[in-house]
């Protein structure tokens, strides 16, 4: 799926009613930007797509999602179950 920057921006800012946000994550922060990853469901098809973008870290940074992108190609994804092993303090 290929989108214009304006179409992708409408999706991540929830302006497009054909899309629903399923998951949001902050991937990384820098001094000036916050890099985000989101999964959105395309409601007419039931498919899920992952979007990566960055926004300004403070109100002084004038950076919005896909502001300068002419073409955006989100990746189709699916949800899978994973089991994670972690260490905990003995009680």
Q: Mean pLDDT in each 10-residue stretch from start to end of the chain (91 residues)?
A: 94 96 96 95 97 91 86 96 95 88
Contact 67, 57 (CB under 8 A): no
- When computed from its CA atoms, the radius of gyration of the chain, rounded to whole angstroms, is 16
pLDDT of residue 59: 82
pLDDT of residue 86: 95
Please tell me the pTM assigned to this model. 0.85
Contact 52, 37 (CB under 8 A): yes
Q: Which residues pair with 56 in a beta bridge?
A: 33
pLDDT of residue 72: 95
Angstrom distance (rounded) from CA 78 to CA 33: 28
Residue 65 buriedness (CB in 10 A; 0-12 / 13-18 / 19+): buried
pLDDT of residue 60: 83
pLDDT of residue 36: 96
């Amino acid at each position: 799926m290929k989108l214009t920057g304006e179409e992708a921006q409408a999706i991540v800012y929830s302006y497009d009613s054909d899309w629903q946000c399923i998951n949001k994550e902050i991937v990384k922060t820098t001094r000036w930007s916050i890099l985000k990853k989101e999964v959105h469901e395309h409601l007419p098809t039931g498919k899920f797509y992952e979007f990566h973008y960055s926004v300004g870290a403070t109100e002084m940074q004038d950076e919005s999602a896909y502001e300068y992108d002419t073409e955006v190609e989100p990746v189709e994804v699916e949800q899978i179950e994973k089991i994670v092993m972690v260490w905990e303090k003995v009680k």
